[in-house]
């Protein structure tokens, strides 16, 4: 098995470091009405992550959308251990920023390359918001 590591500079929103499996969507996420804080699952009908849990994942999505009650819903998810370990946005918006701030969730945005083009669901990702870095670790099976 061979491993490729891609290191990307990012602009930190919060501080901290987290690592884990990526969960990626090209669709914006609404925390209010889109995320069930009691299960960690995306419940927005028609969303490409509908039915999948964000709990413990490195959540990669373009930006948030929706209501200003999102941070409260995110906080509930966090307290129930149903929130992501870290957030990577193409361009952050205020609802997701406040959610990350009140829960000390590591969050970055405006990476030097579009994360939607680099990171795939299942890749192992390290978010180092203290140093503004994201490491993407791709593992491939070698042919024998």
Q: Which position among 53, 67, 99, 144 bears the catalytic label?
A: 67
CATH 3.40.50.300 correct for 2-140 = no
Listed by start position, the domains of the chain span 2-140
Q: Is 142 a catalytic residue?
A: no
The torsion angles phi and psi of 75, rounded to 5 degrees, stand at: -60, -40
For 28-56, the pLDDT digits (tens) are 999 999 999 999 999 999 999 999 999 99
Task: State the average pLDDT for the chain.
Answer: 95
Backbone angles phi, psi at 70, to 5 degrees: -55, -45
Residue 11 burial class via C-beta count within 10 angstroms: exposed 0-12, middle 13-18, buried 19 and up: middle
pLDDT at 29: 97
Q: What is the pLDDT of residues 59-95, one digit of tens each?
A: 999 999 988 999 999 999 999 999 999 999 999 999 9
How much is the pTM?
Answer: 0.94
* Tokens (6 digits) for 46: 């028609």
């Amino acid at each position: 098995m061979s491993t490729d590591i891609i290191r990307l500079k990012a602009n930190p929103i919060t501080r901290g470091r987290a690592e884990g499996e990526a969960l990626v969507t090209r669709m914006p996420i609404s925390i209010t009405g889109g995320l069930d804080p009691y299960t960690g699952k995306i419940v927005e009908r028609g969303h490409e992550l509908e039915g999948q849990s964000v709990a413990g994942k490195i959540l990669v999505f373009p930006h948030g959308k929706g209501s200003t009650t999102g941070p409260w819903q995110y906080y509930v998810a966090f307290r129930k251990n149903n929130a992501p370990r870290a957030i990577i946005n193409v361009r952050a918006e205020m609802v997701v920023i406040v959610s990350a701030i009140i829960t000390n969730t590591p969050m970055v945005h405006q990476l030097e390359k579009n994360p939607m083009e680099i990171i795939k669901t299942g890749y192992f990702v390290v978010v180092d918001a203290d140093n503004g870095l994201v490491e993407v670790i791709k593992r491939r099976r070698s042919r024998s």
